[in-house]
């Protein structure tokens, strides 16, 4: 999965859960890739080694212990986001990674340069199993941004100290 499926579909699960921090949930939905992609490039020398430590059950268990210890909604939201990420990546199809180190070292990925890796990612969009979740995630993100637009405008209004209407009038006066 790519960005829209991970973030959009994970945020969609928050509609069915009580109290979640949407920002922490969005962060958690991408956290395994945020950690593993650069780490794979630095440690293993290839961007295609992007499913390593943060894509394991050990990482999820560690986050779960943090949830129990701190009982903080942000940590719970991040952990749920990571869980959704692992599900959307179908990590049960890669047990050597998911159950690392029980089944041995991480499997070797093909050595690709960055452009070849991006080409490989984007070529996956021709498959319905990748394209449909991406479209669904994007659709939910658009729906969510539309449905909370007044909250977003209120936050802007609160932080700027002026009414949003006054700012808009200032930009569009004479139009």
Measuring CA to CA, which residue among 71, 78, 70, 88 is closest to residue 20? 78
Measuring CA to CA, which residue among 62, 99, 101 is closest to residue 82? 62
Q: Is the pLDDT of residue 174 over 60?
A: no
How do the domains of the chain map onto residue ranges? 3-172
Q: Distance between CA atoms of 111 and 113, rounded to whole angstroms?
A: 7
pLDDT digits (tens, 9 = 90+) for 101-149: 999 988 887 777 778 878 887 888 888 988 999 999 999 999 998 888 7
Q: What's the chain's length in residues?
A: 175
- Residue 36 structure tokens: 């593993």
pLDDT digits (tens, 9 = 90+) for 23-67: 999 999 999 999 998 998 888 877 778 889 999 999 999 999 999
Residues contacting residue 6 through CB under 8 Å, at least 6 positions apart: 29, 30, 33, 84, 85, 88, 137
**CA 174 to each of CA 38, 166, 170: distance values in angstroms, whole numbers, following the listed order:** 49, 14, 9
DSSP string for 16-64: GSSS--HHHHHHHHHHHHHHHHHHHHHHHS-TT--SSGGGSHHHHHHHH
């Amino acid at each position: 999965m790519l960005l829209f499926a991970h973030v959009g579909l994970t945020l969609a699960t928050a509609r069915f859960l009580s109290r979640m921090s949407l920002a922490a949930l969005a962060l958690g939905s991408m956290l395994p890739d945020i950690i593993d992609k650069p780490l794979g490039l630095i440690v293993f020398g290839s961007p295609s080694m992007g499913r390593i430590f943060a894509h394991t059950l050990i990482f999820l268990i560690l986050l779960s212990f943090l949830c129990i210890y701190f009982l903080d909604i942000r940590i719970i939201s991040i952990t749920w986001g990571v869980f959704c990420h692992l599900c959307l990546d179908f990590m049960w199809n890669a047990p050597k990674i998911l159950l690392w180190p029980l089944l041995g070292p991480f499997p070797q990925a093909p050595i690709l340069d960055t452009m070849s890796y991006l080409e490989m990612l984007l070529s996956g969009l021709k498959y319905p199993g990748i394209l449909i979740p991406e479209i669904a995630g994007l659709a939910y993100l658009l729906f969510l941004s539309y449905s909370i637009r007044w909250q977003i405008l209120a936050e802007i209004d609160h932080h700027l100290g002026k009414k949003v209407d006054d700012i808009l009038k200032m930009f569009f006066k004479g139009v």
